[in-house]
Amino acid sequence: MKYTTILAAVATFASTVSAGVTGSAEGFAKGVTGGGSATEVYPTTNEELVSYLGDSEARVIVLDRTFDFTGTEGTTTTSGCSPWGTASSCQTAINLHNWCDNYEPNAPKVSSITYDTAGVLGIIVNSNKSLVGKGSAGVIKGKGIRMVSGAKNIIIQNIAITDINPQYVWGGDAITVDDADLVWIDHVTTARIARQHIVLGTSADNRVTISYSLIDGRSDYSATCNGHHYWGIYLDGSNDMVTLMGNYFYYLSGRMPKVQGNTLLHAVNNLFHNIEGHAFEIGSGGYVLAEGNVFQNVDTVVETPISGSLFSSPDATTNAQCKSVFGRSCQLNAFGSSGSWSGADTSIISRFSGKNIASARAPTNIESWTMKNAGAGNL
């Protein structure tokens, strides 16, 4: 198998934007520098990691070990419900903020749930930070990360975030971005998460690129009770611009991604693989341009009805209209043992005018390359 096409896509990774960081962001987060030329620091304890991420200094923080937060904040026992079924493979919902009472009043009640408290709220990452894993060693276990409340200019690269209360919905998210700008999430792996692997909240997240990352949906517990995690990526929007580029989305069943609010999404050269359920869910205010993606063994490529807007690069003639803004035609998507989709809302193209647009390639070899190279440890 030749990987010439894809290798060209990542040739930029030969350069370095800051100490510890490899390559530079494409798409909307182009220009992000994170901690810049700050001297690398190597935390050795959970407390040091939290301090480095949350202080006001520009920092390049290198992870060379696993930081396990499981049990560090004790456990919480509360009630919950089982809206998706009571089988052992089904997730249970924590009654956080009376969610069960307000949204699932008829679901079977669970009188006692004990979950790990540390997982519910992620570590704060402040502005001008680079968080980088060394080789395949950088892991945060049992707790996610949060870039919120005006944080900006942040790079998260080559780390894994794993094992956050996977049995319980509302037990925590892996990566949260809300009211942030210039965020680049690259070569990150997320696995065995309670709820959202990546969530962009309702406040504006101006420029975000998520690239070459692996969302691994394999889990013993699922809202669809089938071992395929349901809560993948949720882009809720206020004035969000998100590039999804070269990622591997594996063994999921929904929200892959869910796009709504006021979100402009460029989904390019991603692999959607073994989705037992739906991939895209496009709600009101979601503007999606999808090109050069591969859908392999995906039951439903996009959930219907679509309340937002979709340009799915349907054919070569229509795709040529991208030239007016992109300077090139948009690329066709590819499908193997999958459903299909149709979306020819060319008005979305003009929304990219004047913005940083990621490059795109034909879907040839995207599948084989992505399976080998996306995620932590594959930089």
Question: pLDDT per residue over 104-143, tens digit each?
Answer: 999 999 999 999 999 999 999 999 999 999 999 999 999 9
Q: What is the pLDDT of residue 213?
A: 98
Res 18: pLDDT: 64
Question: Model confidence over 77-93: pLDDT tens digits?
Answer: 999 999 999 999 999 99
b/e sequence 294-313, b meaning 16+ C-beta within 10 Å = bbbebbbbbbeebebbbbbb
Q: How confident is the model at residue 226 (pLDDT cuts 50, 70, 90)?
A: very high
Q: Is 59 a catalytic residue?
A: no
Q: How far apart are CA 161 and CA 133, in angstroms?
A: 11
Q: How far is CA 15 from the centre of its chain?
A: 24
DSSP letter (8 states) at residue 83? T
Tell me the C-alpha distance between 361 and 334, whole Å.
12
* Residue 172 CA, distance from chain mean position: 14
Q: How much of the chain exceeds pLDDT 90, in percent?
A: 95
pLDDT in tens, 316-351: 999 999 999 999 999 999 999 999 999 999 999 999
CATH architecture of the domain 4-73+117-373 equals: 3 Solenoid (2.160)
Each residue of 11-61: pLDDT tens digit? Answer: 444 345 667 999 999 999 999 999 999 999 999 999 999 999 999 999 999
Contacts of 286 (CB under 8 A, 6+ apart): 235, 237, 259, 260, 261, 263, 265, 307, 308, 309
Q: What is the pTM of this model?
A: 0.95
The residue written with tokens 């408290």 in the block is 117
For the chain, the structural domain boundaries read 4-73+117-373, 76-110
The model's confidence at residue 74, banded by pLDDT at 50, 70 and 90, is very high
181-186 and 152-157: which strand pairing?
parallel
pLDDT score recorded for residue 3: 37
pLDDT of residue 150: 98
- Strand-pairing partners, residue 233, are 198
pLDDT of amino acid 314 = 97
CA distance 185 to 173: 15
For residue range 248-274, list pLDDT tens digits in order.
999 999 999 999 999 999 999 999 999
pLDDT at 240 over 90: yes
pLDDT digits (tens, 9 = 90+) for 295-309: 999 999 999 999 999
The dihedrals phi and psi of 42, each to the nearest 5 degrees, come to -120, 95
pLDDT band at 1 (very low <50, low <70, confident <90, very high): very low
Smallest CA-to-CA distance from 79 within 170, 174, 166 is with 170
pLDDT tens digits along 275-302: 999 999 999 999 999 999 999 999 999 9
Asked whether the predicted pLDDT for residue 4 surpasses 80, the reply is: no
CA angle, 367 then 140 then 83, to 5° = 75
Mean pLDDT of 178-182: 98
Indicate which residue of 255, 328, 351, 361 is catalytic. 255
**pLDDT tens digits, residue range 189-200?**
999 999 999 999
